[in-house]
């Protein structure tokens, strides 16, 4: 079997190139689905790239234009000269089937990629010095990239990038607003491939903020959310979600009775049993909650590769993901006697890489150091991020949570949560002040 020729269809490649030079509309029908790497013959790849460059420059892709371009860039002899190009056109009747031919060439290309990935996975199996979970993750990545048609060749000419960027303007590649108006003014919203950190001291409401933002992603954009909790169990998170749902304005017409976050806990402890009318209200909340596109994982020993693996499977099932939440970073950094800062840095880099690989926004929670406690002004700064300066580098957005009433009970800012945007790689820094009701874990815009 190893002696077989790699899958290819030279005739289809030739017909595609001939069609592109014969029909001025043909290149536009295949440019979005056919990558230049898919051509088995190197000369064919050069010709296709020449046609793409001309197309993105709004120039014709006829025989004369392609010939001139290749000659100008000293590639004409490499592809076989003018006779090679002329023969491609002569053998082509029309470009009517160019879409099907492009799909066929891509099929052969992906099969070659699969064979290559299979050989690489075999080699990984022999790397006995590498831990098995890492081997599984790397193997899964190779297959996943093929199923998603995410090609490893990521270096492109700027003409291709320009066209893709312009197409994004026309198609409006989404950035998802959070619904918190002032925060959206600063960071615009959650964008695929980005890592956002929410950091703060204990009891500042980080988990509640994350759950509230996750709920907004589901309600405003109808997108699935995956929540990884290394601190709370699935049921503890579920009860918090019920409390949040009970005071969400979208469900006011259902006449749900507000359910405090600690109400069910008191019932389970036998301190204050739930009344029948409360059970009736909770039944409505359960009906709403069960319909939300939410996945929760509470594995406390989960690694970044484990998170990536889970998310790949969910994305394959759902088609897309709106947000991945990790609560929280320090719980993922193993304390094995080494440098904890390096461990935390590896976790942050891993999440940042995963965000790009899956093209999904990642929201990770982080503790900050005790340094704020010794200052007169308790508002956190980016330098307070716990244990690792690498967090400052890899994160696209860093949001610091602060509640003045935690330190000063008689403050005039009671019920106010400050979301301090200390870093916004694609936005602006500043502070988004919101109303925060800790009893229900809900965030509301200030009027």
Q: pLDDT class for 375, splitting at 50, 70, 90?
A: confident
Residue 1 lies in a domain: no
Rounded mean pLDDT of the chain?
A: 86
**Edge-to-edge, what's the strand order for the sheet holding 225-229?**
294-297, 225-229, 323-327, 362-367, 195-200, 397-402, 416-424, 430-437, 442-445
- SS3 of 241, please? helix
User: 205: part of which helix (H) or strand (E)?
Assistant: none
Q: Are residues 367 and 335 in the same domain?
A: yes
| End residue of a domain, out of 110, 137, 166 | 166
* Cis peptide upstream of residue 2 (ω within 30 degrees of 0): no
| End residue of a domain, out of 137, 166, 195 | 166
Q: Are residues 224 and 139 in the same domain?
A: no
Q: Are residues 216 and 324 in the same domain?
A: yes
Q: Are residues 130 and 186 in the same domain?
A: no
* Cis peptide upstream of residue 425 (ω within 30 degrees of 0): no
121 φ, ψ to 5°?
-65, -40
Q: How far apart are the first and last CA of the chain?
A: 70
Tokens representing 174 are 């989404």
Residue found under tokens 């001291």: 201
Q: Are residues 60 and 122 in the same domain?
A: yes
Q: Are residues 291 and 420 in the same domain?
A: yes
Q: pLDDT class for 173, splitting at 50, 70, 90?
A: low
Residue 3 lies in a domain: no
pTM value? Answer: 0.69
Average of per-residue pLDDT across 375-399: 83
Q: Are residues 336 and 241 in the same domain?
A: yes
Q: Are strands 416-424 and 362-367 parallel, antiparallel or unpaired?
A: unpaired
Residue found under tokens 């956190």: 380
| End residue of a domain, out of 113, 141, 166 | 166
Q: Are strands 225-229 and 323-327 parallel, antiparallel or unpaired?
A: parallel
How many CB atoms within 10 Å of residue 174? 15
Judged by average pLDDT, the poorest of 149-158, 219-228, 298-307 is: 149-158
User: 416: part of which helix (H) or strand (E)?
Assistant: strand 416-424
Domain holding 56, by residue range, is 10-166
For residue 114, pLDDT over 60 is answered with yes
For residue 262, pLDDT over 70 is answered with yes
């Amino acid at each position: 079997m190893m002696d077989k020729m790699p899958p290819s269809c030279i005739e289809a490649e030739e017909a595609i190139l001939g069609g592109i030079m014969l029909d001025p509309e043909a290149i536009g029908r295949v440019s979005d689905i056919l990558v230049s790497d898919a051509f088995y013959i190197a000369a064919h790849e050069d010709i296709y790239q020449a046609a793409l460059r001309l197309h993105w420059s709004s120039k014709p892709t006829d025989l004369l234009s392609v010939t001139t371009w290749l000659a100008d860039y000293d590639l004409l002899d490499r592809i076989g000269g003018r006779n090679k190009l002329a023969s491609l056109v002569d053998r082509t009747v029309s470009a009517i089937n160019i879409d099907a031919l492009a799909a066929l060439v891509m099929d052969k290309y992906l099969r070659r990629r699969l064979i290559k990935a299979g050989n690489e996975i075999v080699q990984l199996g022999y790397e006995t010095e590498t831990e098995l979970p890492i081997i599984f993750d790397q193997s899964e990545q190779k297959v996943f990239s093929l199923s998603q048609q995410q090609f490893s060749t990521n270096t492109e000419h700027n003409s291709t990038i320009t066209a893709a960027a312009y197409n994004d303007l026309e198609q409006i590649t989404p950035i998802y607003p959070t619904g918190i108006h002032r925060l959206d003014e600063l960071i615009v919203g959650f964008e695929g491939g980005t890592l956002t950190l929410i950091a703060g001291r204990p009891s500042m409401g980080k988990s509640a903020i994350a759950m509230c933002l996750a709920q907004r992603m589901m309600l405003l954009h109808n997108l699935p959310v995956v929540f990884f909790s290394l601190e709370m169990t699935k049921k503890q998170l579920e009860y918090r979600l019920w409390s949040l749902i009970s005071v969400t304005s979208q469900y006011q017409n259902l006449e749900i009775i507000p359910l405090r976050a600690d109400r069910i806990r008191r019932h389970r402890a036998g301190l204050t049993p739930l009344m029948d009318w409360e059970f009736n209200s909770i039944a409505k909340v359960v009906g709403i909650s069960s319909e939300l596109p939410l996945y929760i994982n509470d594995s406390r020993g989960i690694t970044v590769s484990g998170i990536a693996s889970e998310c790949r499977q969910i994305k394959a099932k759902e088609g897309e993901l709106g947000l991945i939440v990790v609560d929280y970073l320090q719980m993922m950094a193993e304390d094995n006697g080494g440098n904890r800062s390096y461990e935390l840095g590896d976790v942050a880099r891993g999440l940042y890489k995963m965000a790009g690989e899956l093209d999904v926004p990642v929201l990770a929670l982080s503790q900050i150091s005790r340094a704020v406690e010794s200052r007169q002004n308790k508002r956190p700064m980016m330098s307070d991020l716990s244990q690792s300066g690498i967090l400052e580098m890899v994160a696209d957005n860093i949001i610091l949570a602060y509640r003045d009433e935690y330190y000063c009970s008689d403050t005039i800012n009671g019920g106010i949560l400050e979301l301090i945007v200390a870093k916004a790689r694609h936005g602006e820094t500043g502070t988004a002040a919101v109303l925060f009701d800790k009893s229900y874990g809900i965030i509301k815009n200030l009027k």
